[in-house]
């Protein structure tokens, strides 16, 4: 909502021969605005200080502020021009009305030294009581001649401020565990260094299991390496993080004495994977009585519980 700067006591009224340098709005047949129920006229956009602005003229006064005996006149920054979430721009401005008799301008100026803050929750500043209807319509003042008037504006951006970067951590009460079982057949025939499970969904995020039959890193040559990883990390915003508790199991198909590892981890676009390079030794994994590999089939189970998600503000 616009602000009545007159009531704040920070308004300067002056007269100048110099026209506004940024924008002029000329309105012919001004009286027709009221006759056609146009309570507010908004100008086209104009550039000043690297941003786009617009003027808003209420010929019968701003009804939302209870104004009925004055013209209300405001400057607004165009929505969508914000440089970043939480943006803030400080600007000083002057609003003009041409005296067509003397060829000079009545100027109302907000004299707040730091300028007014234009931001997402406050897009418009100006004057609820820019000029009274009586003064505006008095032909001796020259503001309305032949039913024509000329308004204008100057805008000076004095400070730009983007919001500090921030984040919001949302913890999840009564988080739900999601399970997925991956059946690997013809295990001895696996040729690739890394084998991926099909993608599965847990807490609206896509995951997959990665298994290295010949091991990875410190487990190379003697261990099976097993990891949980985000399936599409490129789709995550850079600041997004997912706090997950997970368990990876190679199922014992004989006695249900499953071989497992459990961890908690902050997953993100830059930290996509967590697991164990030495999950289980080849010797133990291949022992037929253990039941981790039966008839050349291996069953890998993932249980994922997401406890918290971080998003940028």
pLDDT digits (tens, 9 = 90+) for 243-262: 999 999 999 999 989 999 99
Contact indicator for 208, 271 with CB cutoff of 8 Å: no
pLDDT at 165: 52
> Distance (Å, rounded) from C-alpha 126 to C-alpha 116?
10
> Distance (Å, rounded) from C-alpha 56 to C-alpha 38?
12
Percent of the chain with pLDDT over 70: 91
Greatest C-alpha distance within the chain: 108
**What average pLDDT score do residues 59-78 get?**
94
Backbone angles phi, psi at 270, to 5 degrees: -100, -10
Structure tokens at 185: 């057949």
pLDDT at 85: 55
pLDDT at 106: 96
pLDDT at 20 over 90: yes
Give rounded-to-5 percent helix, strand, coil for the chain: 10, 50, 40
Q: How confident is the model at residue 298 (pLDDT cuts 50, 70, 90)?
A: very high
Q: What domains are there in the chain, each with its CATH number?
A: 5-161 (2.60.210.10), 167-312 (2.60.210.10)
pTM summary value: 0.52
Strands 167-171 and 298-312: what pairing?
antiparallel
pLDDT at 313: 58
pLDDT at 1: 35
């Amino acid at each position: 909502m616009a602000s009545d700067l007159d009531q704040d006591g920070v308004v300067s009224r002056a007269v100048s021969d110099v026209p506004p340098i940024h924008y002029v709005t000329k309105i012919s047949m001004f009286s027709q605005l009221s006759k056609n129920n146009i309570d507010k006229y908004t100008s086209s956009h104009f550039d000043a200080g690297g941003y786009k602005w617009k003027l808003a003229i209420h010929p019968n006064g701003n009804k939302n502020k209870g104004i009925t005996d004055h013209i209300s006149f405001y400057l607004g920054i165009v929505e969508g021009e914000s440089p970043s979430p939480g943006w803030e721009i400080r600007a000083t401005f002057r609003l003009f009305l041409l005296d067509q008799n003397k060829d000079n301008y009545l100027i109302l100026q907000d004299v707040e030294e730091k300028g007014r803050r234009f931001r997402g929750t406050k897009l418009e500043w100006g004057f609820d009581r820019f000029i009274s209807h009586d003064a505006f319509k008095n032909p001796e003042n020259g503001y309305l001649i032949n039913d024509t008037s000329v308004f204008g504006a100057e805008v000076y951006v004095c400070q730009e401020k983007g919001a500090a970067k921030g984040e919001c951590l949302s913890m999840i009460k009564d988080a739900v565990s999601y399970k997925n079982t991956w059946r690997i057949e013809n295990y001895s025939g696996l040729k690739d260094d890394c084998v991926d499970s099909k993608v599965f969904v847990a807490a609206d995020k896509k995951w997959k299991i990665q298994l290295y039959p010949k091991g990875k890193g410190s487990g190379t040559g003697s261990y099976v390496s097993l990891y949980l990883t985000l399936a599409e990390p490129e789709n995550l915003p850079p600041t997004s993080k997912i706090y997950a508790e997970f368990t990876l199991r190679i199922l014992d198909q004989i006695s249900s004495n499953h071989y497992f590892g459990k961890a908690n981890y902050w997953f993100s676009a830059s930290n996509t994977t967590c697991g164990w390079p030495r999950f289980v030794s080849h010797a133990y994994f291949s022992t037929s009585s253990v039941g981790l590999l039966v008839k050349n089939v291996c069953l890998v189970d993932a249980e994922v519980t997401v406890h918290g998600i971080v998003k940028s503000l």
